[in-house]
């Protein structure tokens, strides 16, 4: 197998929620593999900072600020990228939030906020981009699922529900769009050191539990997700479709 199968030179990748954390790391990895990158988020200042940090590492990126929970804004944003920046070859649906609370106390408003961000956005952006990809008969969509697509933990039942839905939406996208030449897969991260998990990282009891629970014995580093993303975005994954690739240090492999 040639290393050229993993070369993304000339491809254009849109990564949602990419001003920090996992999204930023995936944008960096795709850029290092040769792709042109478009960063997305709602905060223009954070996006500009991320763009500058990528430039410092030799990755040139464009910025597209729009709200992925607003389907009209998504359609306009995607169409603008297609018209002014280029055809989107790779989409990474990464935008997501976490809101922890016991399920019996979880507010309806927070439930809808979480679902809009974690699930609705995957449909909105996926559909908007896929319409262009279908016309071209090619494209890669990578949804960010989670370890919690398979397993629950106290106080995050709505998050678990949203990521379980992302897993099955990935399968549904494959079922509808593979016939048009698209590959749609997901990455399921385990526990990674990100701003989303900062409260857990700083909790000594949880930190000890997580390290004991994970066969690898540690938190993941966001850079360790780049290889999975590059693989699924590349020609090396040309017949991989509707799958979730879990990158979790072995958590799901063991009781």
> Which residues, in sequence order, are CB contacts of 3 under 8 Å at separation 6+?
none
pLDDT at 196: 77
**Could you tell me if 158 and 99 are in contact, meaning their C-beta atoms sit under 8 angstroms apart?**
yes
d(CA 29, CA 32): 5
Q: Report in angstroms the alpha-carbon separations of 137 from 66, 101, 122.
A: 26, 43, 20
Q: Computed from CA positions of residues 105, 109, 111, 114, in that sequence, does the dihedral angle turn out positive or negative? A: negative
Under a CB-based contact definition with an 8 Å cutoff, are residues 132 and 82 in contact?
A: yes
The lowest-confidence range among 19-33, 57-71, 190-204 is 190-204
How large a percentage of the chain has pLDDT more than 90?
Answer: 95
Cβ within 8 Å of residue 219, ≥6 positions away: 191, 192, 193, 197, 201, 210, 211
- Condensed to tens digits (0 to 9), the pLDDT of residues 228-241 reads 999 999 999 999 99
Q: What is the mean pLDDT of residues 107-118?
A: 98
- From the CB of residue 198, how many other CB atoms can be counted at a distance below 10 Å? 11
Q: Using 50, 70 and 90 to split pLDDT, how confident is the model at 98?
A: very high
Report yes or no: 5 and 120 within 8 Å, Cβ to Cβ. no
159 is catalytic: yes
- Strands 182-189 and 61-65 come out as unpaired
Instruction: Please classify residue 168 by burial: count the beta carbons closer than 10 Å to its beta carbon, then call 0-12 exposed, 13-18 middle and 19+ buried.
Output: middle
Mean pLDDT of 51-68: 98
- Domains in the chain and their CATH numbers? 3-249 (3.40.50.720)
Q: What is the pLDDT of residues 22-55, one digit of tens each?
A: 999 999 999 999 999 999 999 999 999 999 999 9
| Measured distance CA(230)–CA(30) in Å, rounded | 6
State both tokens at 196: 């989303």
Q: Count of CB atoms within 10 A of residue 3's CB?
A: 7
Residue 3: pLDDT over 80: no
CA dist., res. 16 & res. 141, Å (int):
12
Q: What is the DSSP string of 58-77?
A: T--EEEEE--TT-HHHHHHH
Q: Does residue 88 contact residue 79 with C-beta atoms inside 8 Å? A: no
Structure tokens given for 36: 């042109």
CA of 135: how far to CAs of 37, 70, 218, in Å?
Answer: 21, 24, 44
Q: How confident is the model at residue 1 (pLDDT cuts 50, 70, 90)?
A: low
Report the pLDDT value the prediction gives residue 61, as an integer from 0 to 100: 98
Model pLDDT for residues 151-190, shown as the tens digit of each residue? 999 999 999 999 999 999 999 999 999 999 999 999 999 9
> Residue 199: its pLDDT value, please?
87
Range scoring the smallest mean pLDDT among 25-29, 102-106, 197-201, 225-229 = 197-201
Residue 210's pLDDT is: 96
Q: What single-letter DSSP state applies at residue 149?
A: G
Of these residues, 124, 159, 191, 246, which one is catalytic? 159
> Tokens representing 226?
């780049």
């Amino acid at each position: 197998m040639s290393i050229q199968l993993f070369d993304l030179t000339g491809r254009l990748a849109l990564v949602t929620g990419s001003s920090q954390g996992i999204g930023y790391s995936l944008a960096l990895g795709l850029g290092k593999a040769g792709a042109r990158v478009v960063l997305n988020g709602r905060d223009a200042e954070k996006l500009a900072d991320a763009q500058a940090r990528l430039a410092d590492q030799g990755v040139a990126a464009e910025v597209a600020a729009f709200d992925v929970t607003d389907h009209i804004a998504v359609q306009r944003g995607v169409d603008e990228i297609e018209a002014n920046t280029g055809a989107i070859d790779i989409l990474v649906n990464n935008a997501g939030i976490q809101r922890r609370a016991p399920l019996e106390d979880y507010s309806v408003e927070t439930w809808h906020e979480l679902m809009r961000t974690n699930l609705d956005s995957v449909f909105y952006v996926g559909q908007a981009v896929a319409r262009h990809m279908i016309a071209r008969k090619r494209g890669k969509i990578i949804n960010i699922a989670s370890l919690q697509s398979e397993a629950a933990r106290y106080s995050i039942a709505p998050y678990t529900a949203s990521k379980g839905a992302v897993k099955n939406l990935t399968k549904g996208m494959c079922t509808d769009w593979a016939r048009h030449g698209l590959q749609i897969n997901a990455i399921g991260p385990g526990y990674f050191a990100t701003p989303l998990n900062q409260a857990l990282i700083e909790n000594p009891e949880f930190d000890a539990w997580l390290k004991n629970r994970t066969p690898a014995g540690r938190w993941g580093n966001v850079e360790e997700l780049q290889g999975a993303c590059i693989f699924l975005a590349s020609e090396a994954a040309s017949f991989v479709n509707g799958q979730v690739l879990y990158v979790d240090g072995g958590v799901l492999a063991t009781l």
